[in-house]
A and B are shown apart, each in its own frame.
Chain A
Amino acid sequence: MDSPPSTGRLTGAQREELIEQVKQQVAIATAQELLTKISEKCFKKCIAKPSSSLDSSEQKCIAMCMDRYMDSWNLVSKAYSSRIQKESMR
């Protein structure tokens, strides 16, 4: 990213690769953010008092917590996008 972009010199294949790269980077950023949040939230919910290892009830809690966090994410995404749609029709 040192020189300014000049797409005049991009070949078709380079262009395709650039598009793929951007898509991938956006997907990675989302996944990373989600992972960080899930660890933070589920640690708080499931580990009341850290002991010498993750016991099975803690593991079960974390597994459920992960799934519920992703459910919540999808629900928020749906609610937010339908709200945006409503707002744009006003």
Chain B
Amino acid sequence: MSLDSVAEQLAGADPQLAQFLQAETQKQRFQGIVHSLTDQCWDICMEKPSSRLDSKTSFCITNCVDRFIDTSNFVVNRLEKTQSTFSSELDN
């Protein structure tokens, strides 16, 4: 049983507790994405680990995160577009 579904069932009985569980679920989701982004951007940006995170690597990591989200937004948008041309083609 996921925290989310527990929270849903609780909404009427204990809205405060339900809200807390929803917030924790969101936190977990956020951290899951951070784990996966760190994994990918580390492979792309990190050469030999040194005594501190140098500015070149930091810059690369920040860009990596932003470009990943751009990519994912682009894919969703393009899919939406192709889907609407698809369905209009079907209508004709």
Per-residue CB contact flags for chain A residues 22-35 toward chain B (1 = under 8 Å, else 0) read 11001001100110
Whether B86 sits at the interface, judged by CB under 8 Å, is no
**CB-based nearest A residue for B28:** A26
A19 at the interface (CB under 8 A from B): yes
Least CB distance, B24 to chain A, in whole angstroms: 6
Contact A79 B10 (CB under 8 A): no
By size class, the interface of chain B is 35 or more
> How extensive is the interface on chain A, given as a class?
35 or more
10 interchain residue pairs of minimum CB distance: A79-B65, A65-B49, A7-B14, A71-B53, A68-B49, A64-B49, A76-B38, A77-B34, A7-B13, A73-B38
Using a CB–CB cutoff of 8 Å, the interface residues on chain B facing chain A are 1, 3, 6, 9-10, 13-14, 17, 20-21, 24, 27-28, 30-35, 37-39, 41-43, 45-46, 48-53, 57-58, 61-62, 65-66, 69
Q: Is the CB of A64 within 8 A of B10?
A: no
Assuming A15-B17, A83-B66, A83-B69, is B1 touching A1 (CB within 8 A)? yes
